[in-house]
Amino acid sequence: MEKELHFAPMQGYADHLYRRFHAEIYGGADWYYTPFIRIEKGAPRHQDMARLDTAQLDGTPTVPQIIFKSVDEFDHLTRALRDRGWKRIDLNLGCPYPMQTRRGRGAAVISNLPLMEQIGERISADPDCRYSIKMRVGMAKPDEWRALMPTLNSLPLDHITLHPRIASQLYGGELYEEEAREFIAESKNPVIWNGDLLSPEDINRVFEAYPQLKGAMVGRGFLARPSLGAEWRSAQGWDHDKRMDYLYRFHTRLLAAYESTLCGQAQILQKIKPFWEYLEPEIGHRAAKALHKAGSLARYQSAVTDLFK
Ligand SMILES: Cc1cc2nc3c(=O)[nH]c(=O)nc-3n(C[C@H](O)[C@H](O)[C@H](O)COP(=O)(O)O)c2cc1C
């Protein structure tokens, strides 16, 4: 079966416009995930819901991701999504930040077995929606997933995306490869690998190491090399000129979209600058610094012109 490639949720980097233009210009990803959607002041944030409506209209293959600490929050969020016609929902059991985990959300849910049993009943009662879970091997210890596995195995999940780190590692440090290997072997649900895939070779290597995988999910690798999926799929690397040509098109469309939807230079710069953060190896230190330092749109535009001339 052909492996799937998923574009990871990347809060602050891959918003609905980024995802849309990425899909249109590069392709190569089967699914794009939203950053987590949460309950704020008793309801899903209006802005998150409005952006989802836009993604639906654009036709970007999008999976909304939710973060929750209770069945009430889960119900509220899933009802809002199901009412809007969403048929796939991803559950965040991986967020490592104390802002969320202290309140019992994200990676803290991995060890909340009673909550996951109740959530499991909800999932089993909603067969028209394909649920997936994105998780770490544990919050504090790398073997926490083991206690949750019987519950996970009783659920009809579309897949589980596994990031083989614990919360305190955030997104760096050693991967728990052995735990991952056992997780993949014990899971009755399809597993998608997530973590540290930066090149087509990395993606192929993980599929060779774990042939049972349904696919791979890539975050920072896509930000650093938006052509990664297209290159991997065609089994053909792109040279620097081709990558820069596509980058120019991608950036031009994204900037134009921000300029037409946002008010004021500060807001536009704040939204567009992260585009470059992972691209320094591609564009070089000098260009990256000039883009980062630009204090006005005019200076920013001039740094962009210098980069692509
Ligand atoms: C800046 C940033 C924002 C992220 N936002 C989310 C998020 O909203 N939801 C989520 O499940 N993971 C989020 N992640 C985690 C990524 O989806 C992914 O699991 C992580 O970066 C590891 O994959 P990678 O090595 O391919 O980047 C974020 C990671 C980073 C670095």
Q: Which residues line ligand 1 (CB under 6 A)?
A: 8-13, 35-36, 65, 92, 94-95, 134, 163, 171, 194-197, 218-221
0.95 exceeded by the pTM?
A: yes
- Atom 23 of ligand 1, residue of closest alpha carbon: 195
Most informative mutation of 7, 10, 228 for ligand 1 (most atoms within 8 A of CB) = 10
Instruction: Report the C-alpha gap between 102 and 251 in whole angstroms.
Output: 37
pLDDT at residue 106 in the model: 98
Closest-lying ligand 1 atom to the alpha carbon of residue 195: 25
* Ranges of the chain whose pLDDT falls below 70: none
Predicted pLDDT at 1: 76
Pick the CATH number of 4-234 from 3.40.50.2300, 3.40.50.300, 3.20.20.70, 3.40.50.620: 3.20.20.70
Q: Which residue's alpha carbon is at the smallest distance from atom 21 of ligand 1? A: 219
Residue closest via CA to ligand 1's atom 20 equals 219
Average pLDDT, the chain: 97
Residue 268 is predicted with a pLDDT of 98
* Atom of ligand 1 minimally distant from the CA of 94: 11
